[in-house]
Amino acid sequence: MTCRRPSSRDRARARAAAVVQALLVSAHAGCGWMFPLEGGRVVDAGADASSDGDADGDGDADGDGDADGDGDADGDGDADGDGDADGDGDADGDSDADGDSDADGDGDADGDGDCDAVTGVYDLTAVDQNALGRGVAVASGYAYVATGTQHMAVIDVSNPADPLLVRSVRDDPGVDGVGLDPPRLAIVQTGSLQRVNVEDPDTPVFDGFVGHDEIWESSRVVVEGDRAYVTTWAAALLVVDLTTDENPTIRTEIGLSTNGSGVAVAAVVAYVALGGGGVAVVDLDTEWVVGETQTTGAAFGVARTSDTHVVVAVGELGIDLVDVTNPAKPIQVAGLGELGTAVAVAVEDGVAYVADTEEGGRLHAVDASSPDAPTPIGSVQLDPEGEPRDLAVADGHAYVAGSTYLWIVDLDCVGR
């Protein structure tokens, strides 16, 4: 039979039945439409006989569709309406909860079957059209890039596929290098070191500086705890105290055999890459060079691979591995060429990542876990092309700064 809602005629018949105080069932009783009587008046099917707000007895007194009060009116499991019914962070159901476009975690964000090594790129010319990308440091989802011009760029890299500029900090005469141990950050520029508080990365605060004539555009800086370590053009390593109230102060100046071009610090030892070729080992307790060895070429950067070895970028000759087990007698034990022109190096989990300026810029991965026999793992082309100058490694990615980009490389893709 066909069901319809009661008509006005049906309602009139119901009123007539009130004379006999009986219950009249509509001609459409087969559809369940009834008009019970209450105190001589007709109660509509949509009325609330008990005055509890729940006219139809379905438990939904306010008519919002949510009978059980769990916030999920349509019963799809998504109580807060964010599209994520099961609370796994994936609101659109594409299996990509972190929004990096790589749903299955195979490194292939664009689905072309290849591992997308260069996950994200930030064009530094958006900060300064002459940006060179001289230095980079990364922590807690933020990259701090020394542009080599008058700006430091603070870039949110929490989503590597979509780096976002959150702050551009201007500092004359230029920003040539950057070192970081949160919340302390140090900027080097010709003639001075600037101290910056980055407790809130969105609003970095300059809070003091110290001048020194021998800090120049190629100086490198590392921050470890409350001290900064700075190489100079005049063959020295500056140790700077960052804890003093008004301005940082130079604690000491340690003489080197030639100018330093890179520095790595571990506990009370500093390893300095020497531009004239070699590595110096510095005891930071005595503030004295305790050992030095030659490398196969001019040294551009240095990083620790373990407690007993460091890796050195030596330009067109690739990399050298140096045994520093005895700080007084460091020994170059192995080398690996055919890495283009190696200008910077960083290490994670026994793998050395080497920035190479040739062929439009490349990043190489080398297994350095056996320092006597470093083994190439693979390399990736930086895209768009540029000239890398520095790199940092954090959270499974390499952050390569150069002209005129910050490239973000998924380390899982290097060598695939």
92 vs 258, residue with greater confidence: 258
160, 247: one domain: yes
Which of 29, 59, 89 corresponds to the end of one domain?
Answer: 59
Does the residue 274 lie in any domain? yes
When pLDDT is cut at 50, 70 and 90, the band that residue 27 belongs to is very low
- Between these two residues, 366 and 18, which has the higher pLDDT value? 366
- What value does the mean pLDDT of the chain take? 82
Question: Which letter, b or e, does each residue of 155-169 get, where b requires 16 or more Cβ atoms within 10 Å of its Cβ?
Answer: bbbebbbebeeebbb
Residue 87 lies in a domain: no
- My answer on whether omega of the bond before 163 falls inside 30° of 0, hence cis, is no
pLDDT band at 415 (very low <50, low <70, confident <90, very high): confident
Whole-Å CA distances, 41 to 14, 17, 37, 312: 10, 10, 6, 96
CATH number for the domain that contains residue 172: 2.130.10.10
Domain shared by 144 and 232, yes or no: yes
Q: Which domain holds residue 218?
A: 122-413
Asked if 49 and 129 sit in the same domain, the reply is no
In-domain check, residue 20 = yes
- Residues 286 and 368 reside in one and the same domain: yes
Q: How many domains does the chain have?
A: 2
Residues 313 and 386 in one domain: yes
Q: CA-to-CA distance for 340 and 373, rounded, in angstroms? A: 19
Whether 110 is covered by a domain: the verdict is no
More confident residue, 413 or 95: 413
| Per-residue pLDDT at 61 | 53
> Which of 114-118, 134-138, 152-156, 379-383 has the least mean pLDDT?
114-118
Q: Verify that 14 and 131 share a domain, yes or no.
A: no
Greater pLDDT, 123 or 13:
123
What does the pLDDT read at residue 171?
81
Higher pLDDT, 377 or 52: 377
Mapping DSSP to helix (H, G, I), strand (E, B) and coil, where does residue 125 land? helix
Write the DSSP symbol of residue 10.
Answer: H
Identify the three-state secondary structure at position 18: helix
In a domain, 112, yes or no: no
133 in the same domain as 39: no
Q: Burial-class residue 38 by CB neighbours within 10 Å (0-12, 13-18, 19+).
A: exposed
153 shares a domain with 53: no
Share of the chain above pLDDT 90, in %: 68
Domain boundary among 31, 59, 87: 59
Rounded average pLDDT over 12-38:
37
36: buried, middle or exposed (CB in 10 Å: 19+, 13-18, 0-12)? middle
Regarding whether 30 and 128 lie in a shared domain, the answer is no
In a shared domain, residues 169 and 247: yes
Tokens of 209: 């500086």
